[in-house]
Amino acid sequence: MKKIYIGKENATYQQILALKNNRGKRNQLGLFFVEGVQNIKEAIAYGWDIDAFIFSSDKELSDWAKSILSLADKNYILSQQLMNNLSSKDIKSEILALVKKNVQSAIIDNENPVYILLDRPSKKGNMGTIIRSCDALNVSQIFYSGHSIDIYDCEVITASMGSFFKVPITFIDSSNTFNEIIDNIKTNHSDLQIIATSLQATCRLQDCDFTKPTLLLIGNETVGLSKFYNDIANQAVKIPMKKGIDSLNVACATTACLYEIQRQRDFF
């Protein structure tokens, strides 16, 4: 394990900072920035490769932090001021991590799967919260498509509270790729249904039968689902709300939909 001491804002430090803030640098190096004990624990538990841990030479690490240092290819040891500058938390983290990207391309299958597709997600906090809900509510795999936020952004990772490392997430780069995925799933689940969420739907969420294999389509926060996904859906559903309220935050709406799916399956 290599130890690299950083006492000033040199090129190495600037690269670490860029991995936190810059999508292009994350894509270039295949690494992303992780903060939070729960996130780091789940990354390790689920077999993600750790490129580096980052910590200060000015503070004694906890026994837990000391125990994981050898899992990284290298350790960056910073001054406390540089460490404070990197941390986004009010109570500064004792240890940060750079983790290697793990691109999920295979389709995850189980006996009666629930999949979710996010069309052009644009809010980092919403994306992280949705990932967390998918983990809690038994989603087999998350797909996302179109011009969207970077799922490896540290705000997404932090909002997921560790679930990012547990739920397979796959980018769909074209309509052809989407159709191939559907064909793949239908090889084992010919009764797969594709359900769109829409404010204009006439069917209430609770009136849709979710006991069969399901792919739930969730639209962009501002413009909803694209025409392609609306057209391909077998049915559209809406969440009934009191008069005068026409929408929910997309993360809240997604969680409500996933809860109803699992309620019908007697998951709880």
Both 22 and 125 in a single domain?
A: no
Q: Considering 60, 76, 100, which residue would you say is the last residue of a domain?
A: 100
Taking the C-alpha atoms of residue 200 and residue 197, their distance in angstroms, rounded to an integer, is 9
Same domain, 235 and 199: yes
Q: Are residues 131 and 89 in the same domain?
A: no
Report yes or no on 120 lying in a domain.
yes
DSSP line for 49-94:
PEEEEEEESSSPPPHHHHHHGGGSSEEEEE-HHHHHHH--SSS--S
**Same domain, yes or no, for 63 and 153?**
no
Tokens found for residue 130: 């949705």
* Within a domain: 109: no
pLDDT score of 244 = 77
Residue entry with tokens 């849709």: 208
User: By the 8 A CB rule, do 42 and 166 touch?
Assistant: yes
The mean of the pLDDT values for the chain is 94
Cβ-based neighbour number of residue 142 at 10 Å: 25
Cβ atoms 143, 118 nearer than 8 A: yes
* pLDDT value at 236 more than 90: yes
CATH of the domain at 149: 3.40.1280.10
Q: Which residue segment(s) compose the domain that 25 sits in?
A: 2-100
Domain boundary among 100, 132, 154: 100
Q: Do residue 86 and residue 126 come from a single domain? A: no
- The strand pairing partners of 98, in sequence order, are 33, 52
Give per-residue pLDDT as tens, 157-192: 999 999 999 999 999 999 999 999 999 999 999 999
CB 241 within 8 A of CB 206: no
pLDDT at 268: 66
